[in-house]
Amino acid sequence: MLREGGHDVVGVFMRHGQEGESNVDATTCNRQGCCSAADAADARRVAQMLDIPFYAVNFEKEFQTIIDHFVSEYTAGRTPNPCIQCNTLIKFGRLFEYADSIGAKYVATGHYARLVETEGEETALCRGLDDAKDQSYVLFVIRREFLPRLMFPVGEYRKPEIRRIAERLGLRVADKRDSQEICFVPERNHAAFVRSKRGDIDTSGDIVDTKGQVLGHHDGFERFTVGQRKGIGIAMGEPCYVVRIEAQTRWVVIGPKEELAVSRLTANETNWLTDPGGAISCEVKIRYRSPAVEGTVQILPGNRFEAELCRPCWGVAPGQAAVCYRGDRVLGGGWIE
């Protein structure tokens, strides 16, 4: 699409150097990753078909930082989002440095999001046209000054249309399954991965109700996240959910769904893509798959904000992102405290 638009295109693949990368065909293997050796081979073949330069860039050092953060967050009883961390550090960090080193004006990725020029000649980050694939939530961390240099060519299309375009071009990845897993976590087992990396830290403890009554024992709170229902291992006679995780006591607190209701949250390490002012009326999205909820956001000192929601949300987990929207536009966001 970029070539058809008249651009001089260079293909770049990001290597992270982690174990478990497979040489099997990524179009048929069970692993749904995005940066394995098989994915690199797919990318190289596409570049050859398009007759464009292709470079595999080693970002192993930066990726190790993402893994360390992932492990430390789970060990602290929080629920991290490593894909957003990857966007912060690599895709919209080091990749821009690489673009500068080769004299590239733009960085283009396959995210389902849109960039729209406003009346004030400001570039706005907006939801992708395909609601089912919209990825604007994970892009709130992009530095504002980078927006004019970004391109999201697929954001104006729906996923089936993109597959048809790829098929028309004869690309063997046209039917490749979507990337849904955390690329460095084997077999979707994040708890086992955390345990293999955390050292001698003991995270086992009690499962308790919201009154502190002990209901059972768990072998590590990294197995749990706020809002979780399945796999708790406690029969209560009614559906129960993880209400919170207390790292200091090593408690996993469970309760009925109403105990999960949250109408106020605070977030830190904020990033704004427009000037927020003091207080803003907007919609707040607390997870990638959760609908945005209307609310009021108050800017706080120390790169923080507080969101007052018009209706309760369930599954508000510390460590996840809270992203502020106005209609389709991403205003900014932060990490839930």
What are the structural domains, with CATH classification, of the chain?
Answer: 11-110+152-186 (3.40.50.620), 202-259 (2.30.30.280), 261-336 (2.40.30.10)
Read off the pLDDT of residues 276-307 as tens digits, 9 standing for 90 and up: 888 999 999 999 989 999 999 999 999 999 99
pLDDT band at 183 (very low <50, low <70, confident <90, very high): confident
How does DSSP classify residue 180?
-
Q: Encode burial over 298-316: b for 16+ CB neighbours within 10 A, e otherwise.
A: ebeeeebbbbebeeebbbb
Whether the CB-CB separation of 332 and 276 falls below 8 Å is answered with yes
Catalytic position from the list 35, 86, 240, 282 = 86
* CA R_g for the chain: 21
Cα–Cα–Cα angle for 332, 2, 84, nearest 5°? 30
Percent of the chain at pLDDT above 70? 93
Q: Which residue has the higher pLDDT, 126 or 29?
A: 126
Read off the pLDDT of residues 207-252 as tens digits, 9 standing for 90 and up: 999 999 999 999 999 999 999 999 998 888 889 999 999 999 999 9
pLDDT at position 174 over 90? no
Read off the pLDDT of residues 143-170 as tens digits, 9 standing for 90 and up: 999 999 999 999 999 999 999 999 998 8
Cβ burial, residue 127 (10 Å; 0-12/13-18/19+): buried
Catalytic position from the list 183, 282, 313, 324 = 183
Determine the Cα–Cα distance for residues 186 and 62; give it in Å rounded to an integer: 20
183 is catalytic: yes
pLDDT at position 18 over 70? no
